[in-house]
Chain A
């Protein structure tokens, strides 16, 4: 139904804080774009600029090919789900959902049809007569979703909509949001600082840092080819192991493949390395000895926290493990699973 295009968008708050320093994103029709990044990196600011709740200091934001910089939130035809839901406390669920429609002058029976239809999709029918304070957190979240969906807008905007839910519910809602978004085919922008949410939801993933885009693309591409140490340590849990290289050498490494001269950091993911020295599989990969400093069994897998090569690394092993703290283990990672980053943190 709509594309969203950001061209070199900037935001300088009155008072001089530059929260967004030139961001360009092209979100295709029906895609779900996730903005992810650490706290304070400007995700909400960017989202609010798309919503029209914050003025755009420079650059352009277009929805459906039309520049909307000077248009108010109402006319942009967007709907937003807020972190704290922002339901109208004095209105029943029904009226919360109907309010935006009524303000647009929709006839009464049409409003009723839409609200009841949306309530059915979200299984909210039995809650329509309640006030927000009579709902659980999860139910409020659904009502907030309903209020956005019922309007049938061009773009959905989500600002950390799941951060107030417990882990289990968050998992459920994540799946549900994804399914709904697919089904309705509404272009969406979703802000989160949870990398798991980001990976599972995104069609287009945008990793932000300090007001700039570090990397954007398909989630798995970013996972497999992080463009910088920042992205490498932000995407993936536990984060990628990063070890410092000294003039192409890794302190304490048994074998190390040939390294480009300008590489300053070597990285490999916890799930990409194995315990044991299977020389046949080595084919010029990394091999080093590690001292186990901690063991974390999670059930289906275990994490070994080890000291090696002048740094701390995490190794993921499937299932249970017999490894104990203080053990010395040989670790290896295949050549193609290694990442190298320059002294500026960029991938080489």
Chain B
């Protein structure tokens, strides 16, 4: 009998590349470095620009090395206020955006995990109907339902509020489906063991489902935080006051069509500051979900 030959267990140290010649390795690295340069250079250049005075920026060519106005520019933007957006400081914008991004990410996770929990673990009339209803909303992104949503927000007096910024974006069919998919992989025996052990629905959710979903939640949080952070269209519509803007909207407003009106050094600072929190979230959370991907706890 010809038994199928078992593959050797894959380990992290396996050499996956086939051609292991010196030249090949140098080639590969050269290409990788080139790629990184192409991606990183604009960001570096933005940083360089954010450390020069407006005059230097407006008089080309822009130097390739950082200037001496790092502290001045950053403190002016963060605490002084930017003229073109009515003197609102970037600190305010950061706070706004953080609230909105956290609100959207956490709200989406709570709502979607609870709806997935209901759909997977409970038998109630209309279960499949609700599942398909959620599924269908996948096909209706914010942009499609933007006018009615806007009207509702106006009627409720939610223009220029955090609620108005967050709530319309908070339901997530994608996240619900992801959680549903994950919950379906949880063995029925585990659910039954918990029932025999006297765990009611709430306890089961809290003691067993939530800890098991940790890594999924972490990964989703990162994705949703960045999604919330970079929202453009909806915040643009629903905020009129400058001090309620998110950083992306404010950035857009700071740029005038006439070059001379634009405080480019502050725009550059704001751009840099707008990148930092998403990077922080990715870096801080990556430990969580990388570990989760390595050892599945099932």
A contact residues vs B (CB 8 Å cutoff) = 48, 51, 53, 72-74, 78-80, 82-90, 99-100, 103-104, 131, 133, 147, 151
Contact = CB atoms under 8 A, between A and B. Distances in A.
B295 A86 contact: no
Contacts of B196: 51, 53, 73-74, 78-80, 100
A129 to B, nearest CB: 16
B195 interface: yes
Contacts of A89: 212, 297-298
B95 interface: no
What are the 4 tightest A-B residue pairs by CB atom distance, in nearest-first order? A100-B197, A86-B189, A103-B198, A86-B193
7 contacts: A51-B192, A89-B297, A99-B199, A104-B198, A131-B297, A133-B297, A147-B193
Contacts of A86: 187, 189-190, 192-193
Residue with the highest number of chain A CB atoms closer than 10 Å, among B193, B203, B212:
B193
A196 B187 CA distance: 29
A48 B207 CA distance: 23
A133 B196 CA distance: 22
A265 B198 CA distance: 51
Contacts of B197: 74, 99-100, 103, 147, 151
Contacts of A84: 187, 189
Contacts of A51: 192, 196
Contact of B207 (A82, A83, A85, A99): A99
A53 B203 contact: no
B195 A73 contact: yes
A98 to B, nearest CB: 10
A82 B189 contact: yes
Contacts of A83: 189
B275 interface: no
A51 B196 CA distance: 8
A284 to B, nearest CB: 48
B189 A133 contact: no
B190 A88 contact: yes
Nearest to A131: B297
A266 to B, nearest CB: 37
A299 B234 CA distance: 80
A80 B193 contact: yes
- Interface size bracket, B side: 20 to 34
Interface in B65-80: none
Contact of B295 (A73, A82, A87, A133): A133
A48 B194 CA distance: 14
B24 interface: no
Residue with the highest number of chain A CB atoms closer than 10 Å, among B198, B208, B211:
B198
B170 to A, nearest CB: 28
Contacts of B194: 88
Contacts of B198: 74, 100, 103-104
A134 to B, nearest CB: 10
Contacts of B298: 89
B184 to A, nearest CB: 16
A100 B203 CA distance: 11
Contacts of B187: 84, 86
Residue with the highest number of chain A CB atoms closer than 10 Å, among B187, B192, B199, B214:
B192
A214 B293 CA distance: 49
Contacts of B211: 90
B125 to A, nearest CB: 13
A151 B208 CA distance: 19
A88 B208 contact: yes
B212 A74 contact: no
A74 B295 CA distance: 32
Nearest to A151: B197
B230 to A, nearest CB: 33
B212 A53 contact: no
Contacts of A82: 189, 192-193
Contacts of B190: 86, 88
A79 B190 CA distance: 13
Nearest to B190: A86
Interface in B37-96: none
A86 B199 CA distance: 14
A83 B190 CA distance: 11
A133 B214 CA distance: 17
Contact of B297 (A90, A99, A103): A90
Contacts of B195: 53, 72-74
Contacts of A104: 198
Given A90-B208, A104-B198, 17 more contacts: A53-B192, A73-B195, A82-B189, A84-B189, A86-B192, A86-B193, A88-B208, A90-B212, A99-B199, A100-B196, A100-B198, A103-B197, A103-B199, A131-B297, A133-B295, A133-B297, A151-B197
